[in-house]
Each structure stands twice: as C-alpha cells, then as structure tokens.
Structure 1
Amino acid sequence: MPLITGLALFLILGAIITLFTSEIVREGARGIGPQSNLLIPGLNPYLPIAEGWIALVLTIIVHEAGHGIVARVYGVKVESTGIVLFLGLPIGAFVNIERDELDKISIKQKSSIMTAGPMSNIILAGVSLFLMFLITSSLTISQPINPNIFGVSVTTINPNSLAESLGLTKGSTIQQIQNNEIRNPADLNENLGGNLGKTVSVTWLNENGEKVVKQATLPNVREPGKGILGVTVTEVSDPKKVLDRYNSLFVSNPLALLAPPTMAQGVIPFSSMMQEKYSSPIFGSFFSIPANLLFWLWFINFNVAIFNALPIGPLDGGQLYNAIINKKTEKRKGILRHTSKILTYSMIVIVALAFVVPWLMR
C-alpha cells in the first residue's frame, strides 16, 4: 500500500504544481470542465459509454473480490458479497466484511486485506496495458500520410463557438489564417492572437478534402478559459511517427499512456482520428475495439487503485493508516490523538486543490 500511496501523492502534487505554474494547463483544465475528473461514463464527456461502463464494472468487481478473498484467507468473516444492480444493469460489486473481526486481527493482516483491493486493480491495469501493447506493436500502416497536406487537425468543436458558426467540423484541417500558413498549434495561436478584433480569412480542408475559405471576425480580447476559435487542434499526424512514439512509451514512460484516446486523438493509434490509418494482423480494421476496451481497463483500474490508496478516512488507505496511527497514539494525549483526522482533512484539501486551482487562478 505505501508504494501505491506514494505514487498517488506524487501524481497529485505534481498536477497541483503544474496547475499553479502553467496558465496553459489551467486554461486547458477549465476548457474540459470539472466533470472530466469523474470516473462516471455519461457524465465525463471523455469516457465512452460502452467501454467505460464495462471497464468500471470489472474494476469494482476485481477490487471488492481482492478484499474478500484475502479476508477469507485470514479467517475474517465476510458477511455477504454481491452485484449492485441499477435498472437491471450491473454497475458494481460489494463485499461486506465483519468489522468487529477486522478490528481484532493484527495490523499486518489488516494491511493485507486493505491492500488487496488496490493491488488487484494495479495487476489488472498492468495486464490490460501489456495486452494493449501486443495490439499496437503489431499494427501496420494502411494509410500513409499525404505529403501535400499541412495544417492542424480539429479534434473538438466547442458549442456556440466561432468555429461552429463558420462551419468548421471535427476532422477539418485548418491551413491558413489571413494567408499565413499554419503548420502547428503554436502557429494557429500566434496568428489568431495577433489579429484580435480584426476580420480575417480562415482556410481549411473539410473531411472530404475540399478547400473552404471563410471570413471570421475575431473577438477583441481573449476570454480566460476560452479559445478564440473554440476548437481543440493537433498537428497533422504522420502515422508511422505516431505509432513508433506511442509504442516507445510502454518502456520509456508508461504513465504517459494514461492520456485518453478521446482527448489526445492525434497521437494515439486507436483514437477515432487515427484508427483508419492502421490495420491489425488479428483484428484487421476493427483493432480499435479491443484496444479501446483495454485502454479504459488500464486507465480506470489505475486511477481507482491510487485514489483508494490515499490516506482519507473511508478509503482503503485511510482505514489502514488510521488503524496504524490509532495503534501508535492510543495512549497519547493532546493533538496526537487526532493525528488520523488531521491527515484525512489535509489530504481532502490537497485533492480539492487539484480540482479548484484552475478556477481560483484565472
């Protein structure tokens, strides 16, 4: 458990430091909205409904089964186990462990039981990541890049934005602003920012490869948390470079593979934007279906594991560390008797900061 907790704290504190020091990151966080922090398919716009629910249900089942199995190994009574249903659909699982018996066992045994849930999720996350690598490492390029196409690809369009009013759509490629070529997102940002309050020509290729030119009157000022056009873009991607870079991350930086294919579409081979450019020797052109399911199993299991390992009261980590602290301080007086509560409240503040900093610092 301490290793998982340490990793969780490292990631959360790193995210908070980045939010404090980077306006671009804060603006991006505001752009995707607070609901993107919720692991609930249907509420989180970046979590697909089908793969999201399948992965979430399997995650909960594996987590609770881990607790239950280890509890039985130590002879701790498991009052009941079952599946949680909502409108006839399985949405989770539960294991009720006899708390009185749990309080009687040693700290080491309790640690094993509390750690079993997050560790089961970490194992499933690792297996999913490995299987995902087997798929992506076997992909072949079926649609090479067109050397005559340049610009930035539009991955999302904000509702009621300037881009929407112009007729830009997801999959369009923005090539010019006021006859200035756009080669990357920085070019787009620079050309838009340098023409605030002016009417400029915007040139793009639509999804059918047809050239479109329209006039757009840019706002006088850039509103905090909002883009000028109201789009998310990525560079026109070379399929070979994208595939090679993605596969290299499995060894060099696996945590970078937590970037969702629904968000970083231009750099993930099985995203909706890139999937048609590849083929699998086993799954053919349908490889993105198992690849996406495995990704969300990896993503959700990893996040559930590290969150549950945090030293916050009702979570697995909280129960374990509170038991250890209470054991060490049961005969102490004063503030030491409240150490576990102080730890819980401190962690709640730290986690809350990761949610609210983008809106506090505009």
Structure 2
Amino acid sequence: MDGTNIALTLFFLYWLAVIMLERKGILKKYNISTYGPVLMIRTTHGLKLLDKLAIPKKAWRVYADIGIRLMFIGMIAMFLVIILSDLAMLASIGDNSMPEPGKFNEARNIFLIPGVNEFIPLTWGIIALVVTLVVHEFSHAILCRVENIRVKSMGILLAVVPIGGFAEPDEEELFGKKEEEITYENDPYGDRRLGITINDDEPEKKVVKTDEKIATRTQRARILAAGVMANFVVALIAFTLLFGPVLGAMSPLGDTMIVDVAEDSPAYAAGIRENMVITQIDDTQIGNVNDMLEYLEGLDTGTMVTLHAASDRIISTYDVEVIDPDIEPSGISIQSIVEDSPASAAGLEAGTSIMYIDGSPIRSYTDFQSIMNTSVPGQEVTVEIGREDTEGTTSYNVTLAQHPDVETKGFLGVVTSYDGQVATSLGISVGEFPATAYLELFKSIPQMLKGLAGWIILLGLPIIGFAGEGFPGFSGTLAQFYEPVGWAEPFGIGVFWLANALLWIGWLNFYVGLFNCLPAVPLDGGHVFRDYMNAFLFRVTGNEEKAEHLSALVAATFAMLILMSFLFMIFGPYIVHGF
C-alpha cells in the first residue's frame, strides 16, 4: 500500500470517528460542530482581546473602507478574467485549437488545497493556508467589534490537522435575520447545512425577520471586506520582505552543476558526486558550462586540476585528473526543419544533431547561439551532422538566409533542443542552470508590476514560473545553486525556509483575497455585491421587497455563471478531446 492509500485510509477512519462522536452527542457537549470531516472547535476565550484590538475604531473603519474599494476592483478584475477565459475557450472550440486535457485544468489543481493541488507543496502550503484563513477570519471579527456586532465565538477548523481559524459573528445582528438552528437531530446527514434539499417535501429552514437590521449596509460591507483587505495586506508584507531583504541575502554559487559521475573515474574516487555546484577550477572562476569547457580544452591526459565544488552550500576542493581530452561534443538535436529555409534546401533532417559549425564544436546551446548571433545573411557555413545509428559526421554546406526578426543576422532554419548535459574530460557530465539570471529576474518582479506582464508572472509564478516550469520555492536541487550572505549568513538554510514561507504566504493570501472578491454568495464579495445591488435596485424600483428579490436573483445568477465557468474550464478540454 503506497503513501497516498495509507493517508486516505487514515482520513476515512478519522471521518468515521467524527460521525460516531457526533451521533453520541459527545461533540455537542464540548461545543464542537461538524461540516463533513471538518470540526469547528469553538471557544469564547479571547473575545476580550478583540475588544482591545478594536479600540482605534476610526483607523479600522478607514482600513475597511479601503478594503471595500479594493474588493470592487478585485471583483471586476476577477469577473473579467473568468469571462475572457470562457470566450477564449469557446473561440478555441470554433477553430479546433482547444488545448488537450492536462495538469493545468485538472479539478484538483483548480482548488488551492495543499497536498491536493500538485503545484502547492504540502508543508509550505499548510503554513500559508493557516495564516491566510486566520488573518481573514479574525479581521472579520475585529471589524464586528468595531461596528458593535457581537462575536459569539472563535476557534479553529480541524480536519486531522488544523486547517484554519474562524470567528462566528451574530448573524441576527449582522444580517438582520435569525435562522432555525440545525442540529444532528433535524439534519442527520448534514445536507441542510450544505444547502442541499433531498426532496420537495422537506421543510425549508425557517427564517425570522427582526424588526430592524442592526448592521447598516456600510457596516456589513466593512466587516465583509475586512477579510479580503487582511489577505491583501499580508500578501503585501510577505512579498515586500521576500523581494527585498530575503532575496537580497541570497547569492548564486554558480550556474554549473554536476549531473553524472562515472564510478570508475578519478573524479568519483576523489569524492565528486552528483548535484554538486562547480564554482572554480584552479584559479579560474567558473560562471557557466562554457567557462569550464574552455578551461579544460587543451589540457593533456594526466593533467591534475583542483576542482572547487559546493555541496549543501559548503565549498570543498578536489584534485581531479584529466582522463580524456578528445571527447566528442554532445551537439544539439534538430527537432524540426523550417519549410523553405536554408536547412531544408541543404537537406538537413529532423532527428539528427548538429555537432560542428565551421569546425567549432557545438557542446551546448550557448555554442550554437554564439555562432548564429555573429553570422550574417549570405554567409556560407559547413554544418557537421551526427546520427545515432552512424559513426562520425556528415558535412553540409549551407548558405544562410536573412533572419526574419534581425536583418543583420544569418538564419539557418532549424528548431533545436538541448538536454542540458555535457560530458567533460574529467569523467563527469555537467549541466547548466542560469542561477544568476534567474535570481535577478526574480528580484525584478516588483518593477514589472508597472505593467500587465508583471502581474501575470506574479499570479502564475508557482504554477508557470518564468518559462512554464513552475516555481515551488527555494528547495531541493534549486537551493543548491545559492548561498546565504550578509545578515542571513548565520541562519544558513533557514533563509531558504523563510523565502519559501513568504512566497507561499504572499501568493496564497493574494489568491484567496481575489477569489473572495468574486460576486458569488457565499463568498464575501457575493454578500457585498448583493447588498449594493439591493440598494441600487431599491432606488430604481422604490419597492424594498421587489429590490430584495431581484438582487437575490441577480446574485444567484452571477454565482451560477461563475460556477459554470469553473466547470467549463475543468471539463471543456475533456469534452472536446475525450476523457
């Protein structure tokens, strides 16, 4: 039985225990409610603290008023994103360009649940989710006390492990209505608590209107917007710390990593292992793979070099012998040939590899790019091609055309790929990760927020990253390329933990804040939207009952439209391409 099955088994055993304890009335005895497998553990301790925190009422109201405006901005932005996504998907059906089903539209990846969403790491995701829910709910609670709305209880949400916190305002004071209490006796399966009607004969929840709503529309909006505002503020603080002092305390060790070591090589005997980052050979700094290859070029067999390599950010030196200076370049693979291009005219074929151009070895994509960047239209070059099933190379004379994007540059007309692994004369293979450029690009994100591209990068960072690879954080192999410097040096690996925590706390708070802006009940944005729609329709109709009915209908329509949009995003590709 694998880990997933064990976890599911334990979870269902826990859920069974919850059901049994609820039926025996044990949970109710301790003021614990259940929503499926989620326990709401209530307490009245800490309510006095809310009153103390709510003392600067004017400041809190200004805070919440800003939150209302941000909520409407987020509401419009999120609704436009959903509508544009739907239109793009509908257009793709018309021109047969609907993307095939993939991980980006899987149902589990639509929801921001750590351990379920494959893009969100479990540990950092849980930490971020707890912070997100706690600040959201307690902001509601503080604004309730600011507006003199009673908070009945506070507590934690538990589903095997704590998944968040909550504050329970008095709904009669907040919304001006009192609902019939639903317990296990009148709702044994929990369907009514979830808004599900089993049959038409089932009595509806009784709603008793009070003579007067205690909270005004503005007060309710402040209370509801406070949670969203808290998420945005926490996201701002987290990202400010991340993109400022934390990333500023990281320095790249180098871009060259050892990806393979021959076990019978002197390098292996000297202690060289995979995933070490090479920083220096003898007295020469190694910035990238080409720096290393250029230094080793021309060294004779038996020459000893001192290799500086870092493992877990600790740099050690290793004396390594050159064993094979005449290694054939690995080349770059030709994935496809551009039609009517010089490569096509010369007879180059997909599935082969470019090994040499004008006698210069192509050991990496950097070599190929460097040669092509210095070429000119009309230049004749000799391209040597290698095939997997044939020894040696075949030469082709190719006259370069004008590059379609840069008039002064030559154009060969091949689409290439590079596996990133280069064999060296030391009996090791190395790969290159642009650690320096990656960190600089990461630091530049705040400057990019002046344009739309920056916001797209920030919103999609953990999922898409900078080039579709996603960015889970500074962990695993990626963390090997960096070391803490300055104030963070004494903390060692702790600075990477801090960076990961800030990344996920910022990103999840930002996303949850935006999601709660959507005009769909029961989300905060849905309640605020319905309240303001009610006020607008009352001005138009002059009839309070009619305005309330129409606003509820409009809000329900928006909620259904948003739900259907999410379902379309998930199932659209499967409907077109099949399940």
| TM-score normalized by the length of structure 1 | 0.71
CA distance 1:111–1:204, shift in 2 (3 Å): closer
- Equivalents in 1 of 2:123, 2:228: separation in Å? 24
**1:121-132 alignment, distance < 5 Å:** 121-132=231-242
Pairing partner for 2:288 from 136, 142, 146: 146
Q: Is the 8 A contact 1:62 1:121 kept in 2?
A: yes
Give 2:512's aligned residue: 304
Give the Å deviation of 1:237: 3.8
Q: More relative contact order in 1 or in 2 (CA 8 Å, sep 6+)?
A: 1
**1:84-233 alignment, distance < 5 Å:** 84-87=157-160, 89-103=161-175, 104=213, 105-134=215-244, 135-144=246-255, 145-148=287-290, 176=333, 178-180=351-353, 183=365, 204=419
1:257 aligns with 2:458: yes
**1:73-92 alignment, distance < 5 Å:** 73-87=146-160, 89-92=161-164
Give the Å deviation of 1:205: 6.2
Give the Å deviation of 1:293: 1.0
- Equivalents in 2 of 1:32, 1:175: separation in Å? 33
Q: Is the 8 A contact 1:70 1:112 kept in 2?
A: yes
- CA shift digits 1:102-161 (9 cap, x unpaired): 122111111100100111001101111111102223422211352339xxxxxxxxxxxx
CA distance 1:248–1:355, shift in 2 (3 Å): same
Give 1:332's aligned residue: 546
Q: Is the 8 A contact 1:174 1:204 kept in 2?
A: no
Give 1:163's aligned residue: none
Give the Å deviation of 1:316: 0.6
1:240 partner amino acid: T
Give 1:313's aligned residue: 521
Give 1:277's aligned residue: 481
**Which deviates more, 341-350 or 56-65?**
341-350
1:354 partner amino acid: M
Q: Which has the larger radius of gyration?
A: 2
In the alignment, structure 1 segments of 5+ residues that lack a partner are 150-172, 185-198, 213-234
More helix by share: 1
More strand by share: 2
- Equivalents in 1 of 2:157, 2:125: separation in Å? 17
Give the Å deviation of 1:246: 1.8
Q: Is the 8 A contact 1:205 1:211 kept in 2?
A: no
Q: Is the 8 A contact 1:203 1:211 kept in 2?
A: no
CA distance 1:314–1:37, shift in 2 (3 Å): same
Q: Is the 8 A contact 1:313 1:319 kept in 2?
A: yes
SS, match of residue 26 in structure 1: coil
- Equivalents in 2 of 1:116, 1:334: separation in Å? 24
- Equivalents in 1 of 2:219, 2:171: separation in Å? 13
Give 1:68's aligned residue: 141
- Equivalents in 1 of 2:87, 2:547: separation in Å? 36
In the alignment, structure 2 segments of 5+ residues that lack a partner are 1-70, 176-212, 256-286, 292-329, 335-350, 355-363, 367-387, 391-416, 539-543
- Equivalents in 1 of 2:133, 2:461: separation in Å? 20
Q: What root-mean-square deviation, in Å, do the aligned CA atoms of Structure 1 and Structure 2 show?
A: 3.8
Q: Is the 8 A contact 2:103 2:109 kept in 1?
A: no
- Equivalents in 2 of 1:137, 1:37: separation in Å? 33
1:351 aligns with 2:566: yes
Aligned pairs, number: 304
SS, match of residue 148 in structure 1: helix
Q: Is the 8 A contact 1:143 1:276 kept in 2?
A: no
1:52 aligns with 2:52: no
Q: Is the 8 A contact 2:249 2:488 kept in 1?
A: no
Q: Is the 8 A contact 1:12 1:354 kept in 2?
A: no
- Equivalents in 2 of 1:129, 1:42: separation in Å? 23
Pairing partner for 1:9 from 68, 75, 79: 79
- CA shift digits 1:162-207 (9 cap, x unpaired): xxxxxxxxxxx995364425849xxxxxxxxxxxxxx989995669
Give the Å deviation of 1:339: 2.2
- Equivalents in 2 of 1:298, 1:24: separation in Å? 34
CA distance 1:298–1:208, shift in 2 (3 Å): farther
1:243 aligns with 2:439: yes
- Equivalents in 1 of 2:331, 2:575: separation in Å? 33
Q: Is the 8 A contact 1:308 1:315 kept in 2?
A: yes
- Equivalents in 1 of 2:462, 2:559: separation in Å? 34
SS, match of residue 355 in structure 1: helix
Give 1:341's aligned residue: 556
| TM-score normalized by the length of structure 2 | 0.46
